[in-house]
Amino acid sequence: QVQLVESGGGLVQPGGSLRLSCAASGSIFSISVMGWYRQAPGKRRELVALITNSGRTNYADSVKGRFTISRDNAKNTAWLQMNSLKPEDTAVYYCNADVNEYGGGRNDYWGQGTQVTVSS
């Protein structure tokens, strides 16, 4: 079993910054892809950013140039640096990991979510 724990959400004014963290623990051999998704009230969960274990990244068009995803493979941890935040970035942010587990299993895990609110 694997657990993902997110932290770093909160209330910030438009134009401000926040840094989200996601730490994975448990029966982890390796993590292929880590990602951040978000879900605003009344909307579907959407991809924000992905990063592979080799460091390749992919971003939603709405956050390109403002958000940066990074990870430390040795620590099984990923971060999302969010700058120039806008009210439309308000959502619950979820961490996701594609995990290769000891014993040969491969499973997809989600964190519990962290609220990000951008408001003056």
Portion of the chain with pLDDT greater than 70, in percent: 100
3-state secondary structure of 7: strand
Mean per-residue pLDDT for 62-87? 98
Average pLDDT, the chain: 97
When pLDDT is cut at 50, 70 and 90, the band that residue 103 belongs to is confident
Instruction: Check if the beta carbon of residue 78 is closer than 8 Å to that of residue 98.
Output: no
Q: Is the pLDDT of residue 30 over 80?
A: yes
Classify residue 23 by burial, with Cβ atoms within 10 Å: 0-12, 13-18, 19+. middle
- DSSP letter string over 68-102? EEEEEGGGTEEEEEE-S--GGG-EEEEEEEEEEET
Q: Is the pLDDT of residue 82 over 90?
A: yes
* pLDDT tens-digit readout, 12-28: 999 999 999 999 999 99
Nearest-CA neighbor of 95 among 61, 119, 71, 64? 71
* pLDDT tens-digit readout, 52-74: 999 999 999 999 999 999 999 99
Classify residue 8 by burial, with Cβ atoms within 10 Å: 0-12, 13-18, 19+. middle
- CA separation for the pair 16, 76 (Å, rounded): 27
Mean per-residue pLDDT for 37-63? 97
Mean per-residue pLDDT for 24-52? 97
Structure tokens at 49: 């950013």
